[in-house]
């Protein structure tokens, strides 16, 4: 094996240049361009073109050996230790059978970066494919996969070309065995293992290759991750196969990146299906599963969005039938009802018809259709999770993941665990000494981790309490400014109320607080997880997932929980108001609008959900686009002549091990918004649908254009996120039932309609839902500063069901209050039981694995065993027949006969 460095590279360039010149001469001779001076005058031919060959290639300089991985480093003047580490590491890579080729820094764009290209020959690939139990094809599948789809022609506009959707044929596959190479369909050893498998194998070697000197055993000096963390190498990555906007010039390159960009990553393809098989082939199963899940989630959102839109349209169409809002807006009814002040001193008495607009707005979301929609979403989330299991099972079969167990790269001990755990003990299974964390140390770390989590969650709650205090304090200020909105704020006074102004500003402040806290929580969660020293990569990712979701859950949803379940529930009545932090603070607990708190919950949900999605898209798309715009524009001008393939990829962003973690987290938080609080805002699924259509293309664009090619990794499911989605789905049934019962005004209206209405209609409901209080009983320090605001009235009204002044049970709850409370509890119990029964029935009716997939898996296993049996029998026959042959048979003829026999039996 010969390594090619600086001098050899110059010689190779001279040879390639002479070859290129002769080719150009031959090509130009037919066009009448024979002299070099004439060639120099041709447009597009510069001095660089003449001195360098095409550098946009994924092959070594010989044009035969494929570059499977690239390492880059900067040779620092004072980096003797790093040089020594690199020498030992590269020497050990060569001992492992890898072939290396170095690009000198003088040929790089920055004149200081070296690039080490790595090629894995057939023997290395075959050995590690055997070790990793990689499945490879041994026979073309004869099981029909086509399914007749009714009205198939309707889906033609959404389809992609067949070579993009199915980039490779369907084969029977089996774990690779180096001793049975003639069993597999090996037409060309150089192309038998696809690039994604090759870079996975090479990374497996890099992650385990030591860099200590021979004769010394220092387990902490092992793996490319350690060398990247200590700065010995600056980057390690596999290469993209071509530029994303143009096909590769070399016909042997697959140009899969170009196909992905053309048919998948562009926003104009938003209505097209995703080429999942090509994504899986190029990026690996783990990334393929993510986009399959995201696409399926978006498809299911379409049905929820349509139903939510129907519910909203029903609210609009029934706008004129809303008797309660008409009474509130009526000058003789709502205009004659004087309401008690909503805060002390600063707030005046006010007439009910001042909330006319908010009552109409509330009806759009708080109507009879909302109950149906809440029940529908409880069933929808079950259908989504159950149908995803079926879709996932089908992908497992199609992508050869049925017998897949967690990848060894994920289950291997983390280098950090080996370094920090100095204690050793005997592993009873492997009978080898391995590091372990003592139980006392583990408990101490877990206790510190739990205390840190509790502290930061308490900080979130403290911030929410601060926002609530802001709402209470600022409401009084808004109330003092907007006393008579029609007179004092001519332009927008009809649309602004103290409640609306307070809600919008508080929601915006809360959103800013959430985004600031997120910045810290990501780092805190990683620090806590690192402190616990998880043993394996899979354990590390699962623990980080749990902590991050816990932080995000409290951070994003706590304000919505406050508005839905706490605001307006602990107010008491005018003579005995409840105060936050005690009466001395003068911060009286907030009351709901006479139309209910549902409209405020809708406002809170829209601002946080839409703000988060907008900010996320800006971070994911616009910022990288602005950062890379200039370099991308420069790179498009003959990049194959100026920048090599490895240099073009080196300037891209690195796709970290936790890259998909943040993508899943973003979608799961969105899933919580559209399920936990969807009863308050039926249009939430529609907003999520529009966002996800954009999200798929933004993520595709990032992977295709902004990120280096990640190392292919296997995964058969979405991992710990599946259990989180199940937990959110169960919790959503409870939250929506409570929202409909306690936040919505639906149950009080139904009780009045069927139990207290004399006319069998909603007439008189507004007056019935308001209790009476004598103004003279209000403490003078709490009376409004403007004494003329109540026009010498003796009573005011407030939202509650209490006996009037002068009654034997003055200001205690009436029987109607208890009837409504009983109806609310009954509604919660009935709705939860109905939805849960339907959920469990649907889950029982829909099997996790489709019956045809089960049959195909069993059929394929049977055929594989049959082919293996026939292969072993014929192999034994060949060995026995060879022992009786006395005449020497040429190697070529024997191999030909052998393959003919094997092909017949297979």
838-853 pLDDT per residue, tens = 888 888 888 888 888 8
Domain identity same for 384 and 354: yes
Report the sign of the C-alpha dihedral through residues 602, 605, 608, 612, in that order: negative
Q: Which of 608-617, 626-635, 793-802, 838-847 has the lowest mean pLDDT?
A: 626-635
**Single residue among 223, 250, 269 that ends a domain in this structure:** 269
Domain identity same for 679 and 799: yes
The pLDDT, as a whole number, for residue 101 is 93
Query: How large is the angle between the packed helices 598-617 and 537-565, nearest 10 degrees?
Result: 150
Residue 120 pLDDT level (bands cut at 50, 70, 90): very high
**Closest to 461 measured CA to CA, from 566, 554, 580:** 554
The pLDDT, as a whole number, for residue 731 is 92
**Single residue among 812, 827, 849 that ends a domain in this structure:** 849
> Is residue 54 pLDDT above 80, yes or no?
no
Q: Which of 199-213, 523-537, 879-893 has the lowest mean pLDDT?
A: 879-893
Distance of alpha carbon 789 from alpha carbon 701, whole angstroms: 61
What residue numbers bound the domain in which 601 lies? 279-413+566-610+669-849
Q: Which of 52-61, 272-281, 562-571, 896-905 has the lowest mean pLDDT?
A: 896-905
Domain identity same for 437 and 297: no
Tens-digit pLDDT profile for residues 520-559: 887 888 888 888 888 777 788 888 888 888 888 888 888 8
Structure tokens at 714: 């296997």
Domain identity same for 434 and 390: no
**Single residue among 807, 822, 849 that ends a domain in this structure:** 849
Distance of alpha carbon 550 from alpha carbon 534, whole angstroms: 18
> Is residue 51 pLDDT above 60, yes or no?
no
Domain identity same for 362 and 451: no
The pLDDT, as a whole number, for residue 159 is 87
> Is residue 895 pLDDT above 70, yes or no?
no
Tens-digit pLDDT profile for residues 210-219: 887 766 666 5
Residue 631: inside a domain, yes or no?
Answer: no
Domain identity same for 736 and 783: yes
Distance of alpha carbon 256 from alpha carbon 281, whole angstroms: 9
**Closest to 535 measured CA to CA, from 455, 630, 612, 425:** 425
Residue 555: inside a domain, yes or no?
Answer: no
Find out whether 373 and 810 touch, Cβ atoms under 8 Å: no
Residue 364: inside a domain, yes or no?
Answer: yes
The pLDDT, as a whole number, for residue 323 is 86
Q: What is the DSSP letter of 503?
A: H
Say which residue, 476 or 486, is predicted with more confidence.
Answer: 476
Domain identity same for 349 and 216: no
Residue 869: HSE in the Cβ half-sphere, 13 Å Cα cutoff = 6
Tens-digit pLDDT profile for residues 414-457: 667 766 777 777 766 656 677 777 788 888 888 888 888 888 88
Structure tokens at 217: 């055993």
Domain identity same for 713 and 577: yes
> Is residue 644 pLDDT above 90, yes or no?
no
The pLDDT, as a whole number, for residue 32 is 37
Residue 20: inside a domain, yes or no?
Answer: no
Find out whether 526 and 488 touch, Cβ atoms under 8 Å: no
Domain identity same for 157 and 302: no
Find out whether 343 and 480 touch, Cβ atoms under 8 Å: no
Task: Supply φ then ψ for residue 139, to 5 degrees.
Answer: -165, 140
Distance of alpha carbon 868 from alpha carbon 129, whole angstroms: 19
Residue 664: inside a domain, yes or no?
Answer: no
Question: What integer is the mean pLDDT of 338-349?
Answer: 81
Tens-digit pLDDT profile for residues 710-766: 998 888 888 889 999 999 999 999 999 998 888 888 888 899 988 888 887 888 888
The pLDDT, as a whole number, for residue 430 is 59
Domain identity same for 262 and 288: no
The pLDDT, as a whole number, for residue 880 is 82
Provide, rounded to the nearest whole percent, the portion of the chain with pLDDT above 70. 80
Distance of alpha carbon 293 from alpha carbon 260, whole angstroms: 18
Domain identity same for 257 and 336: no
| Side-by-side strand order, sheet with 770-774 | 350-351, 338-339, 795-799, 770-774
Domain identity same for 249 and 307: no
Distance of alpha carbon 64 from alpha carbon 631, whole angstroms: 30
| DSSP, residue by residue, 771-783 | EEEEGGGS-GGGS
Tens-digit pLDDT profile for residues 141-173: 777 765 556 666 677 788 888 888 888 888 888
Residue 86: inside a domain, yes or no?
Answer: yes
> Is residue 290 pLDDT above 70, yes or no?
yes
Please count the structural domains in the chain. 3
User: Helices marked H in 621-720 — which ranges?
Assistant: 623-635, 639-642, 645-650, 659-676, 684-701
Residue 894: inside a domain, yes or no?
Answer: no
Distance of alpha carbon 346 from alpha carbon 472, whole angstroms: 12
Say which residue, 377 or 141, is predicted with more confidence.
Answer: 377
Instruction: Quickly tell me which residue has 């860099």 as its tokens.
Output: 211
The pLDDT, as a whole number, for residue 105 is 85
Residue 10 pLDDT level (bands cut at 50, 70, 90): very low
Say which residue, 618 or 822, is predicted with more confidence.
Answer: 822
Q: CA of 650: how far to CAs of 5, 238, 478, in Å? A: 20, 10, 55
Say which residue, 475 or 40, is predicted with more confidence.
Answer: 475
The pLDDT, as a whole number, for residue 903 is 38
Find out whether 529 and 544 touch, Cβ atoms under 8 Å: yes
Structure tokens at 312: 């909203």
**Closest to 25 measured CA to CA, from 35, 37, 40:** 35
* Average pLDDT of every residue of the chain: 79
> Is residue 368 pLDDT above 70, yes or no?
yes
Structure tokens at 620: 């994911």
Q: Coil, helix or strand for 847?
A: coil
Residue 11: inside a domain, yes or no?
Answer: no
């Amino acid at each position: 094996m010969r390594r090619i460095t600086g001098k050899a590279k110059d010689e190779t360039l001279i040879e390639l240049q002479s070859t290129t010149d002769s080719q150009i001469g031959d090509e130009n001779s037919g066009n009448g361009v024979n002299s070099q001076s004439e060639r120099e005058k041709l447009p597009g031919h510069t001095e660089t073109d003449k001195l360098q060959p095409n550098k946009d290639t994924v092959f070594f300089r010989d044009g035969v050996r494929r570059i499977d991985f690239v390492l880059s480093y900067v040779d620092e003047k004072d980096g003797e230790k790093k040089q020594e580490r690199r020498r030992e590491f590269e020497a050990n890579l060569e001992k492992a059978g890898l072939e290396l080729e170095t690009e000198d820094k003088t040929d790089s764009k920055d004149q200081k970066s070296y690039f080490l290209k790595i090629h894995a020959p057939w023997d290395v690939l075959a050995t590690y494919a055997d070790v990793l139990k990689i499945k490879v094809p041994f026979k073309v599948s004869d099981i029909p996969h086509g399914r007749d789809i009714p009205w198939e022609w309707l889906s033609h506009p959404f389809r992609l070309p067949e070579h993009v959707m199915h980039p490779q044929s369907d084969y029977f596959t089996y774990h690779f065995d180096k001793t049975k190479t003639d069993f597999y369909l090996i037409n060309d050893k150089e192309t038998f293992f696809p690039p994604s498998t090759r870079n996975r194998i090479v990374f497996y070697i890099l992650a385990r290759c030591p860099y200590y000197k021979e004769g010394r055993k220092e387990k902490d000096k092992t793996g490319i991750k350690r060398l990247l963390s200590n700065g010995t190498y600056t980057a390690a990555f596999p290469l993209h196969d071509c530029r994303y906007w143009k096909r590769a010039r070399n016909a042997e390159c697959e140009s899969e990146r170009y196909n992905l960009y053309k048919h998948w990553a562009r926003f104009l393809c938003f209505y097209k299906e995703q080429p999942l098989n090509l994504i899986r082939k190029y990026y690996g199963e783990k990334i393929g599963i993510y986009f399959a899940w995201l696409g399926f989630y978006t498809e299911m959102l379409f049905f929820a969005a349509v139903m939510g839109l129907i519910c909203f349209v029903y609210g609009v169409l029934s706008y004129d039938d809303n008797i309660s809002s008409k009474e509130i807006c009526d000058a003789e009814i709502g205009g004659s009802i004087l309401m008690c002040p909503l805060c002390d001193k600063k707030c005046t008495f006010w007439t009910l018809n001042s909330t006319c607009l908010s009552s109409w707005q509330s009806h759009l979301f708080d109507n009879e259709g909302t109950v149906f929609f809440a029940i529908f979403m409880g069933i929808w989330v079950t259908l989504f999770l159950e149908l995803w299991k079926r879709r996932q099972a089908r992908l497992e079969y199609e992508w050869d993941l049925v017998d897949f167990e967690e990848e060894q790269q994920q289950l291997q001990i983390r280098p950090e665990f080996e370094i920090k755990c100095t204690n050793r003990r005997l592993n009873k299974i492997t009978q080898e000494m391995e590091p372990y964390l003592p139980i006392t140390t583990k408990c101490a770390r877990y206790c510190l981790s739990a205390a840190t989590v509790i502290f930061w969650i308490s900080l979130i709650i403290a911030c929410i309490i601060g926002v609530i205090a802001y709402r209470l304090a600022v409401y009084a200020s808004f109330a003092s400014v907007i006393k008579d909105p029609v007179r004092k704020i001519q332009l927008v006074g009809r649309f602004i109320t103290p409640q609306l102004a307070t809600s919008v500003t508080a929601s915006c402040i809360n959103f800013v607080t959430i985004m600031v806290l997120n910045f810290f929580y990501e780092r805190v969660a990683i620090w806590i997880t690192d402190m616990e020293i998880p043993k394996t990569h899979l354990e590390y990712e699962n623990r980080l997932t749990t902590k991050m979701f816990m932080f995000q859950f409290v951070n994003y949803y706590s304000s919505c929980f406050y508005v839905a379940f706490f605001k307006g529930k602990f107010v008491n009545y005018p003579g005995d108001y409840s105060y936050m932090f005690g009466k001395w603070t003068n911060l009286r607990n907030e009351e709901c609008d006479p139309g209910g708190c549902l409209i405020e919950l809708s406002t809170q949900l829209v601002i946080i959900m839409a703000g988060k999605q907008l900010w996320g898209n800006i971070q994911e798309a616009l910022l990288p686009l602005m950062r890379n715009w200039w370099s991308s524009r420069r790179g498009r001008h003959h990049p194959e002549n100026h920048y090599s393939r490895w240099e073009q990829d080196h300037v891209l962003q690195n796709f970290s091990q936790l890259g998909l973690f943040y993508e899943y987290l973003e979608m799961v938080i969105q899933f919580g918004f559209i399920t936990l609080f969807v009863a308050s805002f039926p249009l939430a699924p529609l907003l999520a649908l529009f966002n996800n259509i954009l999200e798929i293309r933004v993520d595709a664009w990032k992977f295709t254009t902004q990120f280096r090619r990640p190392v292919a990794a296997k995964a058969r499911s979405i991992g710990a996120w599946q259990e989180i989605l199940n937990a959110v789905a169960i919790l959503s049934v409870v939250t929506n039932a409570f929202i409909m019962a306690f936040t919505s005004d639906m149950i009080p209206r139904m009780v009045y309609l069927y139990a207290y209405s004399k006319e069998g209609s909603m007439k008189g409901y507004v007056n019935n839902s308001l209790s009476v209080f004598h103004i003279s009983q209000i403490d003078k320090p709490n009376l409004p500063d403007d004494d003329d605001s109540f026009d010498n009235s003796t009573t005011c009204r407030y939202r509650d069901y209490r006996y009037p002044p002068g009654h034997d049970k003055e200001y205690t709850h009436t029987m109607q209050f208890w009837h409504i409370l009983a109806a609310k509890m009954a509604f919660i119990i009935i709705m939860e039981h109905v939805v849960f029964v339907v959920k469990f029935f649907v889950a029982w009716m829909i099997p996790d694995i489709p019956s045809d997939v089960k049959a195909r898996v069993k059929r394929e296993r049977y055929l594989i065993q049959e082919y293996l049996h026939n292969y072993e029998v014929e192999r034994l026959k060949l060995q026995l027949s060879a022992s009786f042959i006395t005449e020497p048979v040429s190697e070529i003829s024997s191999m030909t006969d052998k393959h003919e026999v094997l092909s017949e039996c297979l």
